[in-house]
Amino acid sequence: MSADRATLLAKGGSQHSPEHIRAVNEAAQWYARLQAGQGSDALQCQWAQWLAADPEHGLAWEKVQQVCQQFARVPGKVAGNTLTRSMQQARARRGVLRGLAILVTVGAGGAVAYRMQPLAGWGSDLATATGERRDVTLADLSMLSLNTHTRGDVAFSETQRLVRLQQGEILVTTHPDQQAMARPFIVETRHGRITALGTRFNVRVEDDETRVTVLEKAVEVRVMQGSDALRLEAGQQLAFSSTRMGSPVTADASVAAWQRGRLVVVDMPLRQFVAELARYRSGHLACDDAVAAIRVSGAFPLDDVEQTLLSLTESFPLRIERFTRFWTTIKAA
């Protein structure tokens, strides 16, 4: 791997940038041409030159390959309705490109097509399991990143672009609407509505409140049982219930670090830290009252909670007690 590409991977790439989207589309075109029996030596050479021209091309090529591999594991009947129908029934290049259009549009962010209805339709179900994160490109080219244990629906109509978030957390990157009459982009929870004003923002639903953090530009917030709207600017965070609008506070800069697979905390009580970790792990995870006030700082991997727990015992006088693999308690050493 080249030094440039290693650096890009270390940064996690930019799945939302125009450059990345363009590179994925180009990679899909190359994949289609090669898979459609056009793999001549000259074409292979041109493909190799394209691949080496930009580190982003390598990342995009890997993404297309991952999507195709994911479809290879899709249950047969569903796969037949998506990939096989458009790729295997037609060997002509046009047929292959049509199949890859499905992959790029639905799967470029995380290969979720077999769990969703086509995003070009009026709506789609969205879901992640515990510990799972997933990126989805919507029909209007807006991006949704879904955090662990998230569930929601997408409902686009002639008058609005609506995401109903029942539980969990999403990071939204809106795209300008291409329809003649631009439709507002709205995230709705049980507590209220968040209208995007050309923006990137994070929404997390708790039992008794919703928290929204604006990363770019602004949003407008309305509680479910109220008529007044509050404008929230970039760098601000707000918690609201169905009847009460909170006050804007300065946002935690690391609020969306979960999208990059990290839990970033600064001086966080251990009880709160463990509660955050528990969202990404099946079973019971808690700490004793005797150690709950220990303050934790650092960047921890979300994809390896066990390693994070081990690092706690190496940094603090703590021990991990397991009753079963589904019941874990952190106690004083």
DSSP conformation class of 304: -
Q: Is 148 left (phi over 0), alpha (psi -120 to 50) or beta?
A: beta
Contact between 257 and 274 under an 8 Å Cβ cutoff? The reply is no
- The pLDDT value recorded for residue 35 is 61
Fold observed for domain 116-250: Jelly Rolls (2.60.120)
Q: Return mean pLDDT, the chain.
A: 78
Record: fold of 261-332: Phage tail protein beta-alpha-beta fold (3.55.50)
pLDDT at residue 297 in the model: 86
Q: What is the pLDDT of residues 63-107, one digit of tens each?
A: 766 655 544 444 443 333 333 333 343 344 444 444 454 444 444
pTM for this entry: 0.63
Per-residue pLDDT, averaged over 284-288, amounts to: 95
Separation CA 320–CA 190 (nearest Å): 37
Asked if 36 contacts 96 with a C-beta cutoff of 8 angstroms, the reply is yes
* pLDDT tier at 166, thresholds 50, 70, 90: very high
Q: Euclidean distance between the first and final Cα of the chain, in Å?
A: 43
DSSP 45-67: HHHHHHHHH-HHHHHHHHHHHHH
pLDDT attached to residue 48 = 74
What are the two backbone dihedrals, phi and then psi, of residue 108, each rounded to the nearest 5 degrees? Answer: -60, -30
Per the rule left: phi > 0, alpha: psi between -120 and 50, beta: everything else, 118 is beta
Section 48-70 average pLDDT: 71
Mean pLDDT in residue range 1-9: 33
Percent of the chain with pLDDT over 90: 46
Q: Summarize pLDDT for 240-271 with one digit per residue, the tens.
A: 999 999 999 998 878 999 998 999 888 899 99
Residues 290-306 have a mean pLDDT of 91
What are 200-217's pLDDT values in tens digits? 999 999 999 999 999 999
Q: What are the residue boundaries of the structural domains of the chain, listed by start?
A: 3-113, 116-250, 261-332
More confident of the two residues 248 and 39: 248
Average pLDDT (192-198) is 95
For residue 295, list its beta bridge partners.
Answer: 269
Residue 323 scores a pLDDT above 90: no
CA 146 to chain centre: 4
- From 158, 165, 116, select the one nearest 140 (Cα to Cα): 158
- pLDDT band for position 14 (50/70/90)? very low
Q: Which of 232, 159, 157 is nearest to 192 (CA)?
A: 232
CA dist list (Å): 29 to 91, 179, 296 = 14, 26, 47
Task: Tell me: pLDDT of 159 over 50.
Answer: yes
pLDDT number for residue 19: 73
Q: Is the pLDDT of residue 119 over 60?
A: no
pLDDT at 258: 94
